[in-house]
Amino acid sequence: MNTDTRSRAAWRIRLGEWIAQTRVERALIALIVINAVILGLETFPSIMERHGAWLKARGVLPATKQDDGWTAAAGYRDYLGAEHHRAITLTDTMLTCTDTLSGTAKKAVLRWRLAPGEWQLTDQGVECGGVRVQVHSDTEIAIRLTDGWEARHYLEKTALPVLEIETTVPATLTSEITF
């Protein structure tokens, strides 16, 4: 087994251990419950009449198994008319995320929260420990590696690196995360 393969296998093991943590499982359950509540709200005509544009996702393609991995997509339009559609494909070695931005917004910032580590900025993204995030766009983009925060628990805040990609709208950004 070569070093690259071992590095990918170790990353997958770490990811599996992270997902198996009680707090991560609880967070995923909370997201499922929130989604169920929103779906339930769609059964009330008075709520949909008043808030339907906010609650209703657009262009939803449920997770589907393809020959080389899984795909899914969804989008929304906010009350100001800004639109965002995201399509993802997950394979054994890569996550590809395509964000299509349109509507009334003039600019947008895409943020990828990164695992703590020694991330190095490259021409098209960042890399660290065998993981690479590259972003391509049909418009000019500004790429920055900044400091951000995450809060996994109430009253607990942890610093972490954040990859920021600023662009004008309309734009299509494709992020390729290889591991």
Give the pLDDT confidence of 166-177 residue by residue, as tens digits: 999 999 999 999
Q: Find out whether 89 and 71 touch, Cβ atoms under 8 Å.
A: yes
Note the pLDDT tens digit of each residue in 1-45. 566 666 667 877 888 788 888 887 787 787 888 777 777 776 677
Cut 0.75: pTM above it: no
Q: Which domains does the chain have, with CATH numbers?
A: 1-56 (no CATH), 58-179 (2.70.98.70)
What are all long-range contacts of 49-58, with beta carbons under 8 Å and residues at least 24 apart? 53/77, 53/79, 54/78, 54/79, 58/83, 58/85
Q: Find out whether 179 and 93 touch, Cβ atoms under 8 Å.
A: yes
The rounded distance, in Å, linking the Cα atoms of 170 and 174 is 14
